[in-house]
Amino acid sequence: MNRAFPILGILTAILLSYALYVALVVAPTEQTMGDVQRIFYYHVPSAWTAFILFFVNFIASVQYLCRSNPRTDRIASVLAIAVGVIVFVAAFFVPQPAGVRPSAMATTGLVITGLYFLIHSSFSHTDTDVVALVSAEVGVVFCTIVLVTGPIWARPVWGIWWTWDMRLTSTLVLWLIYVSYLVLRRFSASGETPILAATLAIFGALCVPFVYFSIWFFRTQHPQPVIGGGGSIDPRMLHVLLINWLAFSCFAFLVCWSRYRLEKVQREVEQAHALESLTQAPRSLR
């Protein structure tokens, strides 16, 4: 794994460079907004990447709470399968909101179950807490990019930096929830901190689908989605968008991987110091 990291790092750097090139040079200029629309290739992939990381945080938090007890662990696994099956079946038999394709909903159901068992099989109970922390940290970074690039794009297009429409406000609330999560993890020294943080993460994850679907159910400044059947997009623009999303996803994975290893080492050092303090305490009392 250590040998693979520099190789993946080089490939990701190449992919990011290529994504930058196609976004600024290859992608066609949007007729109405002009070149400022190219922020789209960074704004949207950052949002998608943040949502995925928050979803990973949600699954890891659920597993940290459930896997301490074998019975609750089995129940959670069954529920993960049930949710995936229900979402997959409902995609084809239940009317979807306007602009939502059944195939997208069905894929979501498969991803929910697959990601749950991937994390379950790859990480121990205690390591799921590390995964939750790392994914939240990197997710907040990408969500911050969304909140920064959004107003930069909005100013020349809408004429204002910020408007309190539903998607913008809910995205800000989502960011504040996960910043609160990180503040709790950073400044609370209680032994119950991981449990409290996991509970807060589960609450915060409920805001993610609300942010995503807000433009379907509320009138906002944002246009209807151009992917998923709600609108249209030039195929060349879609190609560039997906390349940038792939590049951002690879970069996020590498940052999470590096941060995960660092957090593991830091916890091992803290445990070693704690054990050393316990072994030296009786000597100091003599």
The one-digit pLDDT tens for each residue of the chain (286 residues) are 677 888 898 999 999 999 999 999 888 887 888 888 889 899 999 999 999 999 999 999 999 999 988 999 999 999 999 988 888 887 777 665 555 666 777 787 888 899 999 999 999 999 999 999 999 999 999 999 999 998 888 888 878 888 787 888 888 999 999 999 999 988 877 778 889 999 999 988 888 888 877 776 766 666 666 555 455 677 888 899 999 999 999 999 999 999 999 999 988 887 887 777 777 755 554 4
CA separation, residue 22 to residues 40, 162, 250 (Å) = 13, 28, 17
Give the pLDDT confidence score for residue 30 in this predicted structure: 79
pTM (2 d.p.): 0.88
Secondary structure letter of residue 34 according to DSSP: B
Residue 138 is part of which domain span? 4-26+37-259
Angle at CA of residue 58, ends 71 and 140, nearest 5°: 155
Tell me whether residue 32 is in a domain. no
Give the pLDDT confidence score for residue 105 in this predicted structure: 73
Domain count within the chain:
1
- Note the pLDDT tens digit of each residue in 149-191: 988 888 888 788 887 878 888 889 999 999 999 999 888 777 7
Tell me whether residue 155 is in a domain. yes
Tell me whether residue 128 is in a domain. yes
Give the pLDDT confidence score for residue 47 in this predicted structure: 92
Residue 243 to residue 196: CA distance in whole angstroms: 37
Straight-line distance from the first to the last Cα atom of the chain, in angstroms, rounded to the nearest whole number = 47
Give the pLDDT confidence score for residue 1 in this predicted structure: 61
Dihedrals phi, psi of 34, to nearest 5 degrees: 80, -150
Residue 32 to residue 229: CA distance in whole angstroms: 21
Tell me whether residue 211 is in a domain. yes
Tell me whether residue 266 is in a domain. no
Residue with tokens 């929830």: 177
Tell me whether residue 230 is in a domain. yes
Residue 95 to residue 24: CA distance in whole angstroms: 39
Give the pLDDT confidence score for residue 227 in this predicted structure: 57
Give the up-direction half-sphere exposure of residue 206: CA atoms within 13 A in the CB hemisphere: 6
Tell me whether residue 122 is in a domain. yes
Q: Which residues pair with 260 in a beta bridge?
A: none
Give the pLDDT confidence score for residue 256 in this predicted structure: 94
Tell me whether residue 265 is in a domain. no
- Note the pLDDT tens digit of each residue in 222-263: 666 655 545 567 788 889 999 999 999 999 999 999 999 999
